[in-house]
Structure 1
Amino acid sequence: MPPLKSLIPGLALSLLLAFASIWAAELAIMREFGFSALTIAIVGGMIIGNTIYPLFAAPCHEGINFSKAKLLRLGIILFGFRLTFQDIAGVGLAGILIDALVLTSTFLLAWYLGRKVFGLDEESTILIGAGSAICGAAAVLATEPVLRAKADKVAVAVATVVVFGTLAMFVYPAAWHALVKAGYLANNEFAYGVFSGATIHEVAQVVAAGKAVSEDAATSAVITKMIRVMMLAPFLLILSSWLAKRHRGSGPGRGKVQIPWFAVLFLVVAGFNSLDLLSHPLVTWIVSFDNLMLAAAMAALGLTTHISAIRQAGVKPLALAALLFVWLIAGGALISSTLLAWL
């Protein structure tokens, strides 16, 4: 690790942007539109990174890289304090199976469309697929260390989940109210919540879409979403193993399984949190600290993302995310309605 002195400027800048993002995320207008601190952090980082940051980038370089790598992993590990295994009981076996099927089908569809139809590179395809299938920006960030992806590809993937996750937050409740009023759907708020939690990208967007229907809908939506988030760890382990087999013999170190220990520790922390050994105020403080770590990592990512690189990516990543969004609505509705009726 670089000397502490060399980390201070970049680390301080990342944390400053993170604090500002967390503050901005609490503003009424930001909460209304479901913009999380992570989204605000990367956008703010990109604005500064493409304007004034090059003037003082040199002394900040080490600290920014530290934020993107170490603070990111710490943030993913501590994310486990948002979950308990008891959450699973809230939606039952149907909720777990719905999450698993939506995740698997969405990612496999992303791989087919991204590689075979749009001809996207492997990193972009996996990042967009993970963000759409699991939990938006957090999933993209967690997948990046496994892929060792470039900052601009991560930023493009984050941008796609922000666009369609925000759209979902408004489309879902509006469509629900319209279909119930027209008599095409039964007024089953629990089912709406499970469907929303299993298919909408970001946790903040799930909360907003759920509360737009009712508090009961929001509760089942958030529980379903957090179970989907919990599936991030096994997803990363499977992805690492699959990538190792895919690239075996293609270069030094490319064929080795890179176990994402931060993902394993994420599950360990969730298990520890399930024991309810810590006081609620302490867990709340840890979650707030975790928000800071993830926002700092996002800000650092934004600072090193060049708009020109995103422009070069073209419309294909957005087109892929759009088709996945359509699948999440149509396919997610089919999966959730079928399993809820059976189980």
Structure 2
Amino acid sequence: MPAESSSKFFRLISVIQELFPGVLVCLTIAMAATFLSDHYGGPVMLFALLLGMAFHFLSEEGPCKKGIEFASKTVLRVGVALLGVRITFGQIADLGEVTILGVIVAIFATIFFGWVFAQVFKLKPSQGLLSGGAVAICGASAALALSAVMPKNKHSENNTIVTVVAVTTLSTIAMVLYPLITQQAGFGAIDSGVFLGGTIHDVAQVVGAGYSISDETGDISTVVKLLRVTMLVPVVLIFSFIFSARNKAKEEGQKASLLPPAFLVGFIVFVILNSFNLMPELAVDHLTDLSRVCLVTAIAGLGMKTSLQELFKVGWPIVGLVVSETIFIALFIYGLVAFI
């Protein structure tokens, strides 16, 4: 083996040895959270967060620190990229122009609402954009993806964690409450599917709520939700360009790069491959499972990096903001279904 290749190989082995303890801890917590969710019910993301926070001391110093950092950033990006395997352009087109346009307007209106109302809760506008994007698109996954391209400060990870906890909790409540609202409103299967898919934050809760009414409602709500997930691409691109330009101007005085983040390119590639049936169904199933594992592992890592003391300092205003955004998008989609 040439000297240069040998040197690279041993450097790779060294990096793996550094990352392995922390990644293993994150993966173990993710497996425990999945076990609890499967056997006792409840959102797996929330379990991973809470279990991770119990091991916060591991992220402060010691052999696990680098691996926890790797899991909360790099593994997160891989998980977001793999979300694209669940989506096809055909699924979206079948919804019809009015529904597609209405849901897209609701997404950007909710993000704008969050940006404006962040100032009411005395938060930074960027926090309103983060929570608004999480509520408008796909809950915890969107919060993680958007935070990856937003500016970092000493409170940014705590803000992300509070947002994830809030949207996950509200999504679980909505899974139980919103089907009752559709019944009281007299919505049919199609209208109920549009309302549930357009308002509930996380994909799993949308599926649970939709199929609790009927198979048709479950199918429609899932596709509407996938439309919202697809909008993660333009929203992350917009956020990336805005904050990249701002950071470059402040810190380096250089021209901002117009290249999208690599994980977003991966997301688009998987959507295209799936849309044109270029991926075997077995591969789609396995990659979907891998995406879920990556996201839960990343959440466990973020949980371990979270200090409860710091969390309480920033928590309640963000929760109030997320609740306001949740009510806003629910009223918006309700009006779309009831009157249009």
State whether TM-score is above 0.5: yes
Q: Distance in 2 between matches of 1:314 and 1:224?
A: 30
* Aligned residue number for residue 126 of structure 1: 129
Residue 22 of structure 1: CA displacement? 2.4
Cα contact 1:123–1:153 (8 A) shared by 2: no
Report 1:170-319 matches (<5 A): 170-180=176-186, 187-246=187-246, 249-252=249-252, 256-257=256-257, 259-319=260-320
Amino acid of the residue matched to residue 250 of structure 2? S
**Alignment partners' CA distance in 2, 1:124 and 1:200:** 20
CA contact (8 A) 1:140 1:154 kept: yes
What is the alpha-carbon distance in structure 1 between the residues aligned to residue 134 and residue 122 of structure 2?
A: 19
3-state SS of the aligned residue for 1:277?
Answer: coil
Distance 2:111 2:70 in 1: 29
Q: Report how far residue 200 of structure 1 moved.
A: 1.0
Cross-structure match for 1:323: 324
Give 2:314's aligned amino acid: A
TM-score, length of structure 1 as denominator length = 0.88
SS in 2 for 1:173: helix
Secondary structure of 2:250's partner?
A: coil
Deviation at 1:166?
Answer: 1.6
Report the alpha carbon displacement of residue 244 of structure 1 after superposing the two structures with TM: 4.1
CA separation of 1:148/1:72 partners in 2, compared to 1, >3 Å: closer, same or farther? farther
Is the contact made by 1:90 and 1:220 (CA closer than 8 Å) also made in structure 2? no
Per-residue CA deviations over 1:271-315 (Å, capped at 9, x if unaligned) read 111122232222211111111111111110001111111100142
- Cα distance in 2 for partners of 1:229, 1:302 equals 24
Does residue 45 in structure 1 map to residue 45 in structure 2? no
- 2:152 matches 1:145: no
Contact 1:101-1:335 within 8 A present in 2 as well: no
2:278 aligned counterpart, secondary structure: coil
Of 2, 17, 21, which residue of structure 1 is paired with 2:33? 21
Per mean C-alpha deviation after superposition, the further-off stretch among 80-89 and 129-138 is 80-89
**Aligned AA (1:87):** Q
- 1:160 corresponds to 2:172: no
| Deviation, structure 1 residue 202 | 0.4
Q: Which amino acid aligns with 1:100?
A: I
Q: Which amino acid aligns with 2:288?
A: V
Q: Does the residue aligned with 2:92 lie in a helix, a strand or coil? A: helix
Larger displacement relative to structure 2 (259-268 or 126-135): 259-268
Q: Is the 8 A contact 2:159 2:315 kept in 1?
A: no
Verify the 8 A CA contact 2:189 2:217 in the aligned structure 1: yes
Residue-by-residue CA offset, 1:249-287 (whole Å, 9 max, x unaligned): 333369724732211220111111112223222221111
Q: How far apart, CA to CA, are the structure 2 residues paired with 1:283 and 1:248?
A: 38
> 2: CA distance between counterparts of 1:207 and 1:254?
45
RMSD: 2.1
Q: Identity over the aligned pairs, expressed in percent?
A: 29
The worse-fitting range, judged by mean Cα deviation, of 146-155 and 58-67 is 146-155
Deviations 1:13-70 (A, max 9, x none): 111112222232222x41xx5x1x3232122211232xx646x841001111111111
CA distance in 2, matches of 1:212, 1:254: 53
Q: Secondary structure at the match of 2:18?
A: helix
Whole-Å separation in 2 of the counterparts to 1:282 and 1:239: 31
Determine the C-alpha separation between the residues in 2 that align with 1:317 and 1:212.
31
Q: Name the SS for the 2:95 alignment partner.
A: helix
Please, what TM-score do these two structures have when normalized by structure 2? 0.89
Contact 1:124 1:157 in 2 (8 A): no
Please give the alpha-carbon distance, in whole angstroms, between the structure 1 residues aligned to 2:65 and 2:206. 35
When residues 299 and 249 of structure 1 are mapped into structure 2, their CA distance, relative to the original with a 3 A threshold, is same
Residue 184 of structure 1 is matched in structure 2 by: none
CA deviation map 1:185-235 (0-9, x unaligned): xx4111111111111100011112112221111110000000110110111
* Higher alpha-carbon deviation: 61-70 or 241-250: 241-250
* Secondary structure in structure 1 of the residue aligned to 2:229: helix
Distance verdict in 2 for CA 1:249–1:276, change over 3 Å: closer
Q: Is the 8 A contact 2:194 2:337 kept in 1?
A: yes
**Once the two structures are superposed, what CA deviation does each residue of 1:64-116 show, in whole Å capped at 9, x if it has no partner?**
111111111111111111111121133122232122011000000000000x3
